Structure 1
Amino acid sequence: MKKIYLIAVMLLFTLKGFSQGSPDYGAGMKFNLNEDGSKYLRVISWAQIWGQYNSDRPLDGNGNEQADLDFSVRRARVLMYAQINKDFLIVTHFGLNSLNVDTMSPTGKGDGSQLFMHDAYVQYSLGKDNAVGGGLHYWNGISRLNNQSTLNLMTLDNQRQAWATLGLSDQFARHIGAFAKGTFGKFQYRVAINGASTNNLQASTTPVNNGPATYTGARLLGSKEAGRTYAGYFEYGFLDSESNFLPYKVGTYLGTKKVFNIGAGFFSHPNGSVLADAAGNLRGENVTIFGLDAFYDVPVGTKGAALTAYALYQNTDYGKDYRLGTTYETGSMVHAHLGYVLPGKSKTRFQPYVSYDERQIDALNDNASQLGIGANAFFSGHNSKLTLEYQTLKYATNKSVNTITLQAMIYL
């Protein structure tokens, strides 16, 4: 009987080493289940806490003015993955998001304060570099940002419209279905066929006669006609190869790798949206999203400086004149962000950055634009950092919304 023991391995990184850029974290917490470590359980935990200032917050539900300063738990997560050998893997990921004074509940049993499952999937290897699996998973299509890890974001948060199906056909950017992923030399791929959620952000919505499309196909037309979604993302790496052991894409390597990738992806949901004619008769309309992107992340010079650049074009068709709040709309988007790790030999590193995106909105025949200016202070790579960001959003003819956010993040 082989002894079960806990090993906490602490290794200093090199340029080709740990991809998160921490000089302290190393291999993290790993429960080895045999002597050579081929059977193991790995545990990762992280939290992101926000303090956010906005002097133009709307009135609350009772018509009262809201405080300028608000606090929230943006994310609190635990991720575990384990294997009994290299041919089998199980991934479990749970936590909560955006807990604040309006979503808390007296005894922690309200919807907003509940832990829920983010990922729960199994995977089977097909040789060294390819695998298939199934369950609640994050092997998404469209773009790098639609597969973004929240552990190593360069900007304060992900570009929201890039999580283009979140709450519409899935559970918080995760579908239930089957996937295949792998590598052929410099080429990586991920493809999936999934079920479409019937209980989405428009669970109580019906289309208006001769009105815009609603994302209600799976519920109103049934699973046979509108119950499947299809996704894929494909990329070619010209420099160092990135890991695709887990689905989560790195936001910035802080100079620990040299990466230049170009990618293309898609999401398709036949009859995912619904239109009603003048008589109220329903018909399905296909949802189609595709993206083209490029990611560049390299060390610069010899004093620890590093450059991160990313650009995305996304074309989104949710159906005729579709719009949901200021988050989802049929139209197109261009997004880019750029960050620079300042040179220096200190353990604390600083990374100023800027992001910008422009969205074209079919239903309004108008645009939305968003600018973010911020900086990261890395005390131990991504494992301990502060992020300060100013963001301004101009949505069509609406008044600009300006927000300042300070985030404290630790992950172990």
Structure 2
Amino acid sequence: MKKILLITALFFSVLSFSQGSPDYEGGLKVKINEDGSKYFRIISWAQFWAQHNSDRPLDANGNEQADLNFSLRRARVLMYAQVSKDFLILTHFGLNSLNADNMSPTGTRDASQLFFHDVWAQYSLGKDHAIGGGLHYWNGISRLNNQSTLNIMTLDNQRQAWATLGLSDQFARHLGIYMKGSFGKFQYRVSVNEAETNNLQFEAIPVNNGPATYTGRRLLGSKEAGKVFSGYFDYAFLDAESNFLPYKVGSYVGTKKVFNIGAGFFMHPSGAVVADGTGNLSGQDVNIFAVDAFYDAPIGSNGGAITAYALYQNTDYGKDFRLGTTYETGSLLHGHLGYVLPIKTKTKIQPYLSFDSRQIDALDDDASQFGIGTNFYLSGHNSKLTLEYQSLKYAQNDAVNTITLQAMIYL
């Protein structure tokens, strides 16, 4: 009985307000043996957006839409349990982008539903290596494709860097097996996974002599186009980062000194499909490669800190592939820079800039995006406000300008 009472007390009282490090000292940690080698931890977070956009198109009925809108960007719960030093299980569920247009009266439609983001089990292979399987986030390509949503420095992740989301996976998670580990300051993660059948183009059919569609598994079969392969590798010149969990930190807010360079890939043989002049279908390989660099360090002794990141990504989804303004065969150059002001107050202030430049094969044109914002850290990443102005210029379309205020709390 005393043990049950102790666990209950820990569950409701043990809170650690961290800066959002990958060691995940925040959350509710419950020991289930005397020395703490067996435990489970629960992390929960929510992000609420107030967004102003005067360039919104007319709705489906031809009516003007309001400039100011509210949404629940993310609501998540993550729990993992260290059953023994050799075995770990993780579950992660929640919802995304709930707003007035996709809510339902009784909370039963797709947008209102919780779903599993991650469910995987992992087995240790010695001290520094592990193998696991399930619905997982041990992704390839780049740091941004492995980004944690708990500690993004900018308002949100660079969307094109989540390069497979909804095309070969379920919300940036694949179903398959992975290996991860480290050799000193060199870290790796590699995986072999199933490609999703019912993706964002689940009804698309290639047009004769037209662009590719991402329909390989559905149209060509799982034997030819059913598997995807990915990996990401990085080397730490300064402090080593944790790879206990897959989620990469966006900003340490001056709590670590990190300089990493990385490279990664994603390959989906026959993932794209094209049709010739008579309608005969053939597969085209999807290949994505990237290199990136991340620097995060304190400056001086007054609490100042810098966060800088640069990414080059080459993306080949097949001949002239393009889906909305999000996915396209071409290339991406992204960078962002933030600076924590050296002021001695409880609230830390971090202004930042971000910039993207995309080359689009199908349009023989470019897209660019510029963002400027500020984070107000009330208690590190555990409680923060973010205000950001963003301008997107896509090919010959008029620029779309958006102002967003985000309130975020995680425990």
Alignment TM class, shorter chain as reference:
over 0.9
Aligned residues: 405
Match of 1:38 in 2: 37
Aligned to 1:20: 20
Q: How far 1:369 moved relative to its partner?
A: 0.1
Shift of the 60–379 alpha-carbon distance from structure 1 to 2, 3 Å rule, reads: same
**TM superposition shift of 1:84:** 1.4
| Cα shift at 1:232 | 0.1
> Residue 334 of structure 1 aligns to a residue in which SS?
strand
Q: What SS does structure 2 have at the residue aligned with 1:161?
A: helix
What does the per-residue CA deviation read over 1:39-85, in whole Å, with 9 as the maximum and x for residues that have no partner?
11100000000000001100111111100001000000000000211
Residue identity in the other structure for 2:186: F
Please say if residues 19 and 379 of structure 2, whose CA atoms lie closer than 8 Å, have aligned partners that are also in contact. no
> In the alignment, does 2:119 pair up with 1:114?
no
The DSSP-based 3-state class of the residue aligned with 1:38 is: coil
Partner of 2:104: 105
- Alignment of 1:405 with 2:407, yes or no, is no
Indicate the residue corresponding to 1:277 in structure 2.
Answer: 276
1:365 paired residue number? 364
Equivalent residue number for residue 52 of structure 2 = 53
How far 1:36 sits from its partner (Å)?
1.1
- Identity across matched positions, percent: 74
Query: What code does the residue aligned with 1:342 have?
Result: L
Aligned equivalents of 1:310, 1:211: Cα separation in 2: 37
Residue type of the partner of 1:250? V
Partner Cα distance (1:151, 1:294) in 2: 20
Amino acid at match of 1:195: E
List gaps (5 residues or longer) in structure 2.
none
Tell me by how many angstroms 1:345 deviates.
2.0
Superposed, which structure 2 residues align to 1:67-78 within 5 Å? Answer: 67-78=66-77
Shift of 1:196: 0.3
Determine the structure 2 residue equivalent to 1:15: none
Cα distance in 1, alignment partners of residues 16 and 410 from structure 2: 16
Q: Distance in 2 between matches of 1:26 and 1:20?
A: 8
The structure-2 alpha-carbon separation of the partners of 1:279 and 1:41, relative to structure 1 and needing over 3 Å to count, comes to same
SS at match of 2:370: strand
Does the 8 Å contact 1:21/1:253 carry over to 2?
yes
- Aligned-pair distance for 1:347? 1.1
Give 1:285's aligned amino acid.
Q
TM superposition shift of 1:91: 0.5
Aligned: 1:340 with 2:339: yes
User: What amino acid sits opposite 2:41 in the alignment?
Assistant: R
Query: Contact 1:273 / 1:287 at 8 angstroms: preserved in 2?
Result: yes
Query: How far apart in 1 are the matches of 2:196 and 2:62?
Result: 34
Equivalent positions of 1:6-405 (< 5 A) are: 6=8, 7=10, 8-9=13-14, 18=18, 20=20, 27-405=26-404
User: How many angstroms does 1:26 deviate by?
Assistant: 5.2
Structure-2 change in CA distance of 1:2 and 1:274 (3 Å): farther
CA 1:218/1:2 → structure 2, altered by over 3 Å: closer, same or farther?
farther
Query: What TM-score, normalized to structure 1?
Result: 0.96
- The aligned amino acid for 1:99 is L
Alpha-carbon distance in 2 for matches of 1:176, 1:84: 22
Deviation at 1:28, TM superposition (A): 3.0
Rounded to whole Å, the distance in 2 between the matches of 1:84 and 1:90 is 8
Superposed CA RMSD = 1.5
What is the deviation of 1:21?
6.7
Q: Is the 8 A contact 2:20 2:26 kept in 1?
A: no
**How many angstroms apart in 1 are the aligned matches of 2:357 and 2:175?**
31
> In 1, Cα distance between the equivalents of 2:64 and 2:222?
44
Aligned counterparts of 1:389 and 1:321: Cα–Cα separation in 2: 32
Distance 1:126 1:219 in 2: 36
Give, as a single letter, the amino acid of the residue that structure 2 aligns with 1:318.
Answer: Y
Taking the aligned partners of 2:198 and 2:394, their CA distance within structure 1 comes to 28
Structure 1: tracts of 5 or more residues without a match: 13-17
Aligned amino acid, residue 361 of structure 2: D
Letter in 1 for 2:167: L
- CA deviations over 1:178-223 (Å, ceiling 9, x no partner): 0000011010000000000000000000000000000000100000
Q: CA deviation at 1:11?
A: 5.9
Conserved? CA contact 2:19–2:381, under 8 Å: no
Q: Given residue 3 of structure 1, which amino acid in structure 2 is its aligned partner? A: K
Give the distance between the partners of 1:226 and 1:169, measured in 2 at CA. Answer: 11
Q: Which residue type is aligned with residue 93 of structure 1?
A: H
